[in-house]
Amino acid sequence: MKNRLLAAAPALCCLALVLVPAGKTAAYLSGWEFTLYHDDTFLAAVTALLLVSAVGLIRNKTALGRWGRAFSALVLPLSLLTDFFFLFRANWFSLVCMGAALICAVLLFLRSPGQAALKSICGVGAALLIPGLLLAGFAANLAAGFGAEMVTETVPSPQGGYVAKVIVSDQGALGGNTFVEVERCSTIPLLIGELAKRPDRVYRGKWSEAVEVFWSAENTVTINGRTYPVE
């Protein structure tokens, strides 16, 4: 029983690692946003799964079948891909989790003998993802110190199905803008997160511009005297 669980561990790791990239990408292409309930909790759980899998397989010298070795090779690029989706909001805890998970992924990758072609493809993919991660980390640090957005007003619709948010974007010496975004209040709960309709940016004006927002109907918002239908 123990060996069966360990043999299935690489597949479980791949499944856990693909949840966020697949969920966020599919949601974005459909006009939605996928958000985890707790980013740090999810990262900790995935890291723990990878750690138990790597230590268990190495310590027990569990023989993996063809598919087990294939999933072990896929863990490395999937781990790097998952890190990309967390890098922009990373804190010290999530960085530790991502580092530990990456080490475990490398160990699992090395634990997949006899998969020369797949290991080569996964190795090249991982090598290509590393510069992207470094660039994303640099961009995240740069964005953190450059400009800021602040919600200055929220106006709910008459029946509470939507909320209009006035957002002031300050870009320092480059100026900025004033936006109005409309969000749908309802969400679709899932096991580890929720789906929400992506906010619709209906108005863009100059920075610090005075904006008057009110709802003339449940599906119609009026901004500075002009009406905008909301779907």
Domain tally for the chain?
A: 2
Question: Domain check: are 159 and 135 in the same one?
Answer: no
- 142-175 per-position pLDDT tens digit: 555 556 778 889 999 999 999 999 998 877 666 6
pLDDT at position 130 is: 75
Contact 222, 213 (CB under 8 A): yes
The residue among 13 and 205 whose pLDDT is bigger is 13
- What's the confidence (pLDDT) of residue 104? 93
Residues of the chain with pLDDT > 90, as a percent, come to 44
Clarify whether residues 139 and 49 are in a common domain: yes
What range does the domain containing 178 cover? 148-229
| Cα separation, 229 vs 27, whole angstroms | 23
Task: Answer for the pair 67, 114: CB distance below 8 angstroms, yes or no.
Answer: no
Half-sphere exposure of 35 (CA within 13 A, CB side): 10
Residues 6 and 20 in one domain: yes
Q: Specify whether 107 is located in the same domain as 190.
A: no
46-69 pLDDT per residue, tens: 999 999 999 888 887 777 778 888
Using DSSP bridges, classify how beta strands 200-206 and 213-217 pair: parallel, antiparallel or unpaired. unpaired
Name the residue with higher pLDDT: 84 or 175.
Answer: 84
Of 144, 165, 183, which residue is a domain's last? 144
d(CA 72, CA 8): 10
pLDDT for 92 equals 87
Query: Average pLDDT of 102-117?
Result: 80
What's the mean per-residue pLDDT of the chain?
A: 85
The whole-number pLDDT of residue 173 equals 61
Q: Name the pLDDT band for 186 (thresholds 50, 70, 90).
A: confident
pTM of the model: 0.78
Half-sphere exposure of 111 (CA within 13 A, CB side): 31
In tens, the pLDDT along 26-51 reads 998 998 999 999 999 999 999 999 99
Please indicate whether residue 173 or residue 89 has the higher confidence score (pLDDT). Answer: 89
